[in-house]
Amino acid sequence: MKADKIWMDGKMVDWDEAKVHVCTHALHYGSGIFEGIRAYETKNGTAVFRLKKHIDRLFNSAKIFKMEIPYSKEEFRQAVKDTIKANKLKSGYIRPLVYRGFEQLGINPFKCPVNCTIAVWEWGAYLGEEALAKGIKTKISSYARSYINSTSQKAKICGNYINSIFAKMEAIEAGADEAILLDTSGFVTEGSAENLFWVRDGVIYTTPTATVLEGITRDSIIKIAEDMSYKVQEKYICRDELYISDEVFFVGTAVEVTPIREIDNYQIGEGKRGPITENIQKKFFAIAKGEEEKYLSWLDYI
Ligand code: PMP
């Protein structure tokens, strides 16, 4: 993973020169916020998927974490597009990061400057092409999703991802591809970096957003599924409801729409990508690649 240029506080910097000081506050305490966005190649050139919504969420994360971003949303959106252009990126991943830099290393972040960067790079299927076609193996994590009042689930705060990293390491070491985390009461929440959907008797379910990140793919999938005349409901469930679901799938910018074929060694449905998952996945990719007139407003062309 490498590209040519990184946008750093308003300047295009060579990839190898995009460095920070070791006393950067965020490096010690995770005091940053970030976004993950994808750009897809379409017949009319590269398009960013739901850029406005991602930059809105970045600014909401900044508000919750009390950081003043020294750019307008419009300037930030333009900077994303400029970085894509500077790297001649056709399709891939976009990572805006806003972090507390160095001034002093006490916990108090307010004295530290707010620095902004945008990196982009080519990135195919997050868990591999086979995962999209055949599904993945998951494990219910022994690590609970951070308690709702420990930090904030609405904000994509760097430090929140330590919880995700513990769950991911445990899943990988147990021979699974990804983790599913429960909340501190035992209700199903989400994956390490993806929201969860499941299907029972033709109805599509997902968890309410109170205890999970308000995923932009989640929002897209709900709209897509409803437009396809599926019934979609939000529901709190325990892990056993997943075991007996007909289909389960993850959604997120990185994983896109990834079927889950196994959870804790229980086979889900037929143990392969289910038919509803496949329909939604196909529609999602067609929309992202600009093949669906009705959803063109979701795309920002470069
Ligand atoms: N949950 C978590 C914890 C995440 O990190 C992500 C990835 N941003 C998601 C869900 C999915 O969100 P989105 O569809 O906006 O990428």
CB 259 within 8 Å of CB 280? no
Computed over every residue of the chain, the mean pLDDT equals 97
Whether 47 shows a pLDDT value over 90: the answer reads: yes
pLDDT above 90: residue 1: no
Token duo for residue 288: 């992202």
Ligand 1 pocket test: pick from 97, 195, 251, 257 the residue with the most ligand atoms within 8 Å of its Cβ.
195
Q: Which residue CA neighbors atom 2 of ligand 1 most closely?
A: 193
CA of 250 to the centre of ligand 1 (A): 10
pTM of the predicted model as reported, rounded to 2 decimal places: 0.97
Per-residue model confidence (pLDDT) at position 126: 94
252 lines ligand 1 (CB under 6 A): yes
For the stretch 211-227, pLDDT in tens is 899 999 999 999 999 99
Task: Give the distance (Å) from ligand 1 centre to CA of residue 232.
Answer: 19
**Alpha carbon of 163 to ligand 1 centroid (Å):** 14
Kindly give the pairing relationship between strand 92-100 and strand 32-34.
Answer: antiparallel
Measured CA to CA, the distance from residue 40 to residue 47 in angstroms comes to: 5
Of 5, 139, 156, 168, the catalytic one is: 156
Beta bridge partners of 299: 49
Place of tokens 């419009």: 74
156 catalytically annotated: yes
Give the position, in ligand 1's atom list, of the atom nearest the Cα of 160.
3
Rounded Cα–Cα distance for residues 253 and 217 (Å): 6
CA distance 156 to 175: 28
User: Which residues are paired to 13 by β-bridges?
Assistant: 6
Contact residues for 69 (Cβ-Cβ < 8 A; gap 6+): 58, 59, 62, 76, 98, 114, 116
pLDDT confidence of residue 135: 98
Rounded to whole angstroms, how far apart are CA atoms 7 and 228? 39
3 state DSSP class of 113: coil
Q: What is the number of the ligand 1 atom nearest to the C-alpha of 219?
A: 14
Residue nearest to atom 4 of ligand 1 (CA): 193
- Residue 56: pLDDT above 90? yes
Task: Give 133-179 as a DSSP string.
Answer: HH-EEEEE-SSPPPPTTTS-SSS-BGGGHHHHHHHHHHHHHTT-SEE
